[in-house]
Structure 1
Amino acid sequence: MFSTVLVANRGEIACRIITTLKSMGIASVAIYSEADAQAKHVAMADRAVCVGPAAAARSYLNIEAIIDAAAETGAEAIHPGYGFLSENVEFARACAAAGITFIGPEEHALEVMGDKIRSKNHVAAAGVPMVEGTSEPGLSDEQLVAAAATMTFPVLIKPSAGGGGKGMHVVEDPQDLAETLITARRVAKAAFGDDTLFIEQLIRTPRHIEVQILADSYGSVIHLGERECSLQRRHQKIIEEAPSALLDEETRARIGQAACDTAASVDYRGAGTVEFLVSDQEPQKFYFMEMNTRLQVEHPVTEEITGIDLVEQQLRIAAGQPLRMTQDDVALSGHSVEARIYAEDPQADFLPSAGTVLGLSEPHGPGIRVDSGMREHQVIGTDYDPMLAKVIAAGADRDQAFSRLHRALGGTVVHGLSTNISYLRQLTADSDVRAGTMDTTMIERKLPDLDFPVPQQHHAAAAALFLAQQRGLLPDAAAQSHPPAPFHPPVQGPAAWQSDGWRPGTGHTPTFSVTCSRTGATTDQFEVPVDGAAALLPGSGCGQWELQTEHRSIPVHISLGTRSRTGAEVWVTAEDFTGMFTVLDAEAQTHRQLAEIEAELVDAVPEVTAPMPGTVVAVEVASGAEVTVGDLLVTIEAMKMEHRLTALSEGTARINVAVGDQVSLGQVLATVEASTEDNSKDES
Structure 2
Amino acid sequence: MFDTVLVANRGEIAVRVIRTLRELGVRSVAVFSDADAQARHVREADTAVRIGPAPAAESYLSVERLLEAAARTGAQAVHPGYGFLAENAAFARACEEAGLVFIGPSADAIALMGDKIRAKETVEAAGVPVVPGGRDPELAKAARTLGPPVLLKPSAGGGGKGMRLVRDLTVLDEEIAAARREARASFGDDTLLVERWIDRPRHIEIQVLADGHGNVVHLGERECSLQRRHQKIIEEAPSVLLDEATRAAMGEAAVQAARSCGYRGAGTVEFIVPGGDPSQYYFMEMNTRLQVEHPVTELVTGLDLVEWQLRVAAGEPLGFTQDEVTLTGHAVEARICAEDPARGFLPSGGTVLLLDEPAGDGVRTDSGLSEGTEVGSLYDPMLSKVIAYGPDRATALRRLRAALAETVTLGVQTNAGFLRRLLGHPAVVAGELDTGLVERVVADLVSTDVPEEVYEAAAAVRLEALKPTGEGWTDPFSVPNGWRLGGTPKPPSFHLKAQDPVTYTPRGTATVSGDTVAVTLDGLRHTFRRAGDWIGRDGDAWQVRDHDPVADSLSQAAHAGADSLTAPMPGTVTVVKVAVGDEVTAGQSLLVVEAMKMEHVVSAPHAGTVAELDVTPGSTVAMDQVLAVIAPKEETE
Match of 1:580 in 2: 543
Match of 1:308 in 2: 303
Contact 1:346 1:420 in 2 (8 A): yes
Aligned equivalents of 1:461, 1:22: Cα separation in 2: 47
Match of 2:286 in 1: 291
CA spacing shift, 1:444–1:325, aligned 2, 3 Å: same
TM value normalised by structure 2: 0.91
Residue 118 in structure 1 maps to residue 118 in structure 2: yes
Match of 1:535 in 2: 510
Match of 1:2 in 2: 2
Deviations 1:559-612 (A, max 9, x none): 10xxxxxxxxx111135642111246xxxx5xx414523531432433433322
Residue 333 in structure 1 maps to residue 325 in structure 2: no
Match of 2:467 in 1: 473
Deviations 1:485-529 (A, max 9, x none): xxx36447xxx9xxx9998679976614142433xxxx1624234
Which stretch shows the higher mean deviation, 349-358 or 86-95? 349-358
Match of 2:599 in 1: 642
Contact 2:271 2:284 in 1 (8 A): yes
Match of 2:566 in 1: 609
Q: Alignment partner of 1:643: what SS?
A: strand
Instruction: Note the C-alpha offset of 1:663.
Output: 4.4
Within 5 Å, give how 1:59-458 maps onto structure 2: 59-136=59-136, 144=139, 148-174=143-169, 184-185=179-180, 187-188=182-183, 191-192=186-187, 194-452=189-447, 454-458=449-453
Aligned equivalents of 2:147, 2:611: Cα separation in 1: 42
Which stretch shows the higher mean deviation, 602-611 or 37-46? 602-611
Aligned equivalents of 2:182, 2:133: Cα separation in 1: 21
Give the AA of the match of 1:555: T
Instruction: Note the C-alpha offset of 1:196.
Output: 4.0
CA spacing shift, 1:352–1:594, aligned 2, 3 Å: closer
Q: Alignment partner of 2:587: what SS?
A: coil
TM value normalised by structure 1: 0.85
CA spacing shift, 1:527–1:256, aligned 2, 3 Å: same
Contact 2:339 2:347 in 1 (8 A): yes
Give the AA of the match of 1:202: W
Match of 1:517 in 2: 498
Aligned equivalents of 1:509, 1:69: Cα separation in 2: 65
Give the AA of the match of 2:510: A
CA spacing shift, 1:86–1:460, aligned 2, 3 Å: same
Match of 2:45 in 1: 45
Aligned equivalents of 2:341, 2:584: Cα separation in 1: 30
Give the AA of the match of 1:305: V
Give the AA of the match of 1:340: R
Aligned equivalents of 1:201, 1:617: Cα separation in 2: 36
Give the AA of the match of 1:444: E
Instruction: Note the C-alpha offset of 1:653.
Output: 6.2
> RMSD of aligned C-alpha atoms?
3.1
Which stretch shows the higher mean deviation, 12-21 or 302-311? 12-21
CA spacing shift, 1:383–1:189, aligned 2, 3 Å: farther
Contact 2:128 2:256 in 1 (8 A): no
Instruction: Note the C-alpha offset of 1:359.
Output: 1.5
CA spacing shift, 1:169–1:653, aligned 2, 3 Å: farther
Give the AA of the match of 1:527: Y
Q: Alignment partner of 1:134: what SS?
A: strand
Aligned equivalents of 1:301, 1:132: Cα separation in 2: 31
Instruction: Note the C-alpha offset of 1:303.
Output: 0.2
Instruction: Note the C-alpha offset of 1:464.
Output: 2.0
CA spacing shift, 1:95–1:415, aligned 2, 3 Å: same
Contact 2:408 2:539 in 1 (8 A): no
Q: Alignment partner of 1:64: what SS?
A: helix
Give the AA of the match of 2:32: Y
Instruction: Note the C-alpha offset of 1:165.
Output: 4.0
CA spacing shift, 1:146–1:284, aligned 2, 3 Å: closer
Aligned equivalents of 1:212, 1:331: Cα separation in 2: 13
Aligned equivalents of 2:503, 2:344: Cα separation in 1: 26
Residue 593 in structure 1 maps to residue 550 in structure 2: yes
Q: Alignment partner of 1:241: what SS?
A: strand
Contact 1:354 1:417 in 2 (8 A): yes
Residue 551 in structure 1 maps to residue 523 in structure 2: yes
Aligned equivalents of 1:185, 1:606: Cα separation in 2: 36
Instruction: Note the C-alpha offset of 1:652.
Output: 4.9
Instruction: Note the C-alpha offset of 1:347.
Output: 1.9
Aligned equivalents of 1:187, 1:513: Cα separation in 2: 48
Aligned equivalents of 1:644, 1:238: Cα separation in 2: 25
Instruction: Note the C-alpha offset of 1:629.
Output: 2.7
Give the AA of the match of 1:30: A
Q: Alignment partner of 2:394: what SS?
A: helix
Contact 1:120 1:135 in 2 (8 A): no
Contact 1:10 1:41 in 2 (8 A): yes
Aligned equivalents of 1:71, 1:392: Cα separation in 2: 36
Give the AA of the match of 1:64: E
Aligned equivalents of 2:572, 2:343: Cα separation in 1: 20
CA spacing shift, 1:43–1:381, aligned 2, 3 Å: same
CA spacing shift, 1:609–1:174, aligned 2, 3 Å: farther
Unaligned runs of 5+ in 1: 561-569
Give the AA of the match of 1:473: K
Aligned equivalents of 2:625, 2:190: Cα separation in 1: 29
Within 5 Å, give how 1:7-18 maps onto structure 2: 7-18=7-18
Instruction: Note the C-alpha offset of 1:207.
Output: 0.7
Aligned equivalents of 1:550, 1:534: Cα separation in 2: 10
Give the AA of the match of 1:648: P
Aligned equivalents of 1:507, 1:94: Cα separation in 2: 79
Contact 2:407 2:538 in 1 (8 A): no
Over the matched positions of the two proteins, sequence identity in percent amounts to: 50
Instruction: Note the C-alpha offset of 1:633.
Output: 3.7
Contact 1:187 1:640 in 2 (8 A): no
